[in-house]
Structure formats: structure tokens, C-alpha cells
Amino acid sequence: MQRLKNKVAIITGAAAGFGEGMAKRFAEEGAKIVVADLNVKGAEHVAAEIGHQAIFVQTDVSQKSEFDELVATTMKAFGRIDIMVNNAGYTHRNGDLVAVEEDVFDLITAVNMKAIYHAARAVVPIMDAQGGGSIITTASTAGVRPRPGLTWYNASKGWAITATKSMAVELAPKNIRVNCLCPVAGETGMLAQFMGEDTPELRAKFRASIPLGRLSTPLDIANAALWLASDEAKFITGVALEVDGGRCI
């Protein structure tokens, strides 16, 4: 359908998992993709699989200078930014909240929270000058229905949801839509940390808490993000879309 034809999308954390799924799905719909990640090998591989309409940029989203360089590289390569996906994320291992070390807490806030601030400062002026755009953040069901063991991660995702709603109201006059996704845990590299460890027994227990009976997949999240980024959702802003198989009911 080419729902994103000629649009340019930056996707952070796109070397694997949900971000990789979004990058490939957006490209299928005609978008030019900037695969941004600290993992150079993974980002390069994803960009190569997509082909000529993608580039990769090694980026630490917690650092303003690197985010600014990411945006400058995107503008040099493609001349515009239509979609900004804040997908990069970090978590602590499931466990006692007082056992989480300060350096881990700082990294969670830098990647899950401060990176959204860096992104907004870098891309909002560009989108405003273009006449609009779409900002999408990967939040989590953890920010909607927090459970024990992931307190500081949960809090960071609650922050992301509130930031999304406030940004949506403030940026609406500029025709910049701001939404977030709230996925349930899925087949990504962070699954073991979310559960504490990855065992068949824990997977079965977690699946049992999801009414539709399975974990999320990168394609589930990519399809939801695609809709939010497309003109089909041009009247949608400030939404925290639960992609969770009914987990948050």
C-alpha cells in the first residue's frame, strides 16, 4: 500500500527486536529508514537487509551530541524527518527495587527518559518547519499496569507515557502528532531481564497472564507503529496504545 511513501523515519534501538521490526515494516511501506543503535554490527546488518533506502548511524541516545549528529546525518542523507521513533530502551533485572545499583538506575533514566527530551529538541524544529510530523515512543504495559520486580523500569515508562500526552497537547498546533506504544513483553533481548530469567516455566506463567495467550512479536509492534505513523492516524495524538493481547485489562 506504500502508506509511508517518501517519508523519512529515524528509529532508535533498531538493530534488533521491536526496532528492527519497525524498520523493516516501515521500509516495506515506502519509508526511508535511519537505523540508529549503539550496536554497529546489528544496525549495519538491518540497514543492509532493507537495502538502498536505509542507512545506519551508531548512536548513544543518552548523549545530546550523538543525537544531534544522528539528526544532522539524517538531514544530509534524506533532507527531512517525518517520523521519529524513540524505541531504544534499557531495564534492570526483575528483582528487589532496593537492589538496583545507582549506575543502572541512571542508565534507565538516560535511555528511557532523557533520550525523549534529546529527540524532541532535535527534531521538533525540523518537523515544525516542514509543516508537521509524527513522534512515536515505545513505552510499555509496565507504565500502565506496573507489577512487582521492575519498579524503576516501570516508573520510567510511566514517565514516557505522561511526556507523550503533554507533548501531544503542546505540539498539536504545529501539526506534530505524538503517541506511544505499550507492548507487553515479547521475543526480544530484554525478555530474560523482564522475567528475572528465561525458563519454559516462567514463559508459561507469563503467557497465562495474557488473555490472548502469547507474548508480543516485533511484527505486532511494527504494525501498530506503522498505523500511528501513517496518515490513517492523522487525527490520533496523545494516545498510549496497548499492544498487549489484553494484559492490561
AA identity, residue 174: K
90 classed as catalytic = no
Q: How far is CA 27 from CA 34, 42, 52, 89, 150, in A?
A: 10, 17, 10, 22, 33
Q: Please classify residue 150 by burial: count the beta carbons closer than 10 Å to its beta carbon, then call 0-12 exposed, 13-18 middle and 19+ buried.
A: buried
CB 221 within 8 A of CB 121: no
Give me the catalytic one of 26, 56, 78, 153: 153
Active site positions, annotated: 153
